[in-house]
Amino acid sequence: MRYVVGYTPNESGADAIDLASVIARTQGARLDLVYVVGERAATVQNAEAVQRDALDLVPEGVQAQFHVRHSDSYASGLIEAAVEYSALLIVVGAARSGLFKRFTVGSVANALLHASPVPVALAPRGYQRTEPLTRLTAMVGTREGWESVTNVGIHAADRRHLPLRLVSLVELDELTQRRYELDNALSPARQHANTVLTEAAQRRSGGSTTVTLAHGRTIEEAVDSLGWEDGELVIVGSSRLAERRKLFMGATANKILRALPVPMVVVPREYERIDD
């Protein structure tokens, strides 16, 4: 089992290694630290120093290998590496312009979130956790694609023996514009959440499964209303506009990302590989 980590010699690269190490630790996964340089670069200056600094960030007990890859596109270089290594995950850090422990999607992450054939994990700025994960949260809306998110959440929680929280978000501003009363507006979401919970609980081999219906004036407000653990990881699906088995970040996922204080994994549409 291998995870590709997009490494850059800065704090964002360190955040990515920290997150990848936490996710990999319980699975015995190997990390491929990938440093992408331009095609026109005949040699990589200070490559040995970059490699040494990167490997020094990997905690004891986690296997890691450093690679230098040439590509004019950093995102393309990471995707090519993930395909070549049969990696189950690409991990990158957030852009440095964001608030501490919040996300700002930079150009690399944005490109990955519109093209990757494997899930992409995003570490918030300043992520420095070293302890194992404590809970997985899967965002299960009512739109097409929620099944893939549920499947990945169930299997990932089972493999790691973690509690699974299924969350359905309702944006009240949008419903208010349609002149729905609050109870009537939330009723379909409650019914869907209960159906998903029952089905998920029956499929889990062990561990607790809970469901939460969170609502707010906006998606960001709904996300803020949820309680978050330091060791939590959120799983969301890509937009229904995405090509099959590809990522494409929709408007709702972008709103969730901006409000999250914990790492997030985005799963490609109709993603079928579940052994991560």
Highest mean pLDDT among 39-43, 172-176, 253-257: 253-257
Average pLDDT over every residue of 92-103: 62
- What does the pLDDT average to over 172-185? 56
pLDDT of residue 247: 56
pLDDT value at position 274?
44
> At residue 178, does pLDDT exceed 70?
no
- The pLDDT tens digits for 209-257 are 888 888 888 888 889 899 999 899 999 887 554 455 455 556 777 788 7
Q: Per DSSP, which regions of the chain are E strands?
A: 2-6, 30-37, 64-70, 89-93, 120-123, 135-139, 164-171, 209-216, 232-237, 264-267
So what CATH class is 2-123? alpha beta
User: Which CATH superfamily does the domain covering 135-267 fall into?
Assistant: HUPs (3.40.50.620)
Least confident segment among 21-35, 90-104, 132-146: 90-104
pLDDT for the residue numbered 51 = 94
The 3-state DSSP class for residue 105 equals coil
What average pLDDT score do residues 253-273 get? 79
Domain extent listing, the chain: 2-123, 135-267
Q: What is the three-class DSSP state of 142?
A: coil
Q: Pick from 238, 87, 66, 12: which is nearest to 79 by CA?
A: 87
* pLDDT at 193 > cutoff 50: yes
Give pLDDT, residue 266. 87
User: Which residue type is seen at 113?
Assistant: L
Higher pLDDT, 142 or 275: 142
Q: Comparing 2-123 with 135-267, is the CATH topology the same? A: yes
pLDDT at 111: 82
Q: What is the pLDDT at residue 15?
A: 93
Angle, helix 146-160 to helix 182-203, in steps of 10 degrees: 50
Mind listing the pLDDT tens digit for each residue in 54-95?
999 999 999 999 999 989 888 999 999 999 999 999 999 876
> What's the pLDDT at 276?
44
